[in-house]
Amino acid sequence: MIQTNDTILFQGDSITDCGRGRADTAANSLGALGQGYPKMIAGRLLRQRPGDALSILNRGVGGNRIVDLYARWKSDAINLTPDLISILVGVNDTWHEFGSQNGVEVDRYETVYRMLLDLTIDRLPDVKLVLCEPFVLLHGAVTAAWLDEMAARRDVVKRLAKDYNATFVPFQGAFDDALKSAGPGYWTGDGVHPTVAGHCLMADTWLKTVCP
């Protein structure tokens, strides 16, 4: 799926952002990739494929909901002309409702997500899409009241992956399996943001799915 000279773009919220430097926008830069799963994926790809001239970018922004992602999509995705875009978004669409009554309802989440994908395909017809499953663990900030809504968002992303011929990365499934070996506090600090182990699990899951 990933070919020589490809530009790979990671997009999403704080889970993807993970402290990336805003002033450094260069591909493959330690500062620009943040401290989470995009950097871990980039490191493995660049180590394994040194002759392939891959360019890996991270444009995740903490706090983003799907509507925020759509608002900046032209400058932070289309204009970068990536060959592959990996998207993880959805948890803030729920969290912001519980925290400040500013979430994005599941049906509107799907509508705007489809708008974003339609725009992407229109402007970048050859782009490869990777849609990542939004996830939570019942820990910290996450309560049982979140679970049904997050399950509905996961169903949306699975449906979109099928409809748009995208690769679906099962992050929730990976974390659910990981709970058999350690509790939720080992994998996430607050039920949303992964620990180092959690980010490594995400990187492993992404690579196994996208680059089997």
Q: Catalytic pick from 13, 14, 68, 86?
A: 14
Is residue 55 classed as helix, strand or coil in its secondary structure?
Answer: strand
- Helix, strand and coil content of the chain, in percent to the nearest 5, comes to 50, 10, 35
Catalytic residue flag (residue 14): yes
Q: Catalytic pick from 13, 93, 139, 193?
A: 193
Catalytic residue flag (residue 190): yes
Q: Residue 127 — φ and ψ, nearest 5°?
A: -65, 145
Q: Catalytic pick from 29, 55, 96, 190?
A: 190
Q: Which long-range contacts (CB under 8 A, 24 or more apart) does 30-38 make?
A: 32/57, 32/58, 33/58, 34/58, 34/60, 35/199, 36/194, 36/199, 36/202, 37/194, 37/199, 37/200, 37/202, 37/203, 37/206, 38/10
Catalytic residue flag (residue 193): yes
Query: Which residues does the annotation mark as catalytic?
Result: 14, 190, 193
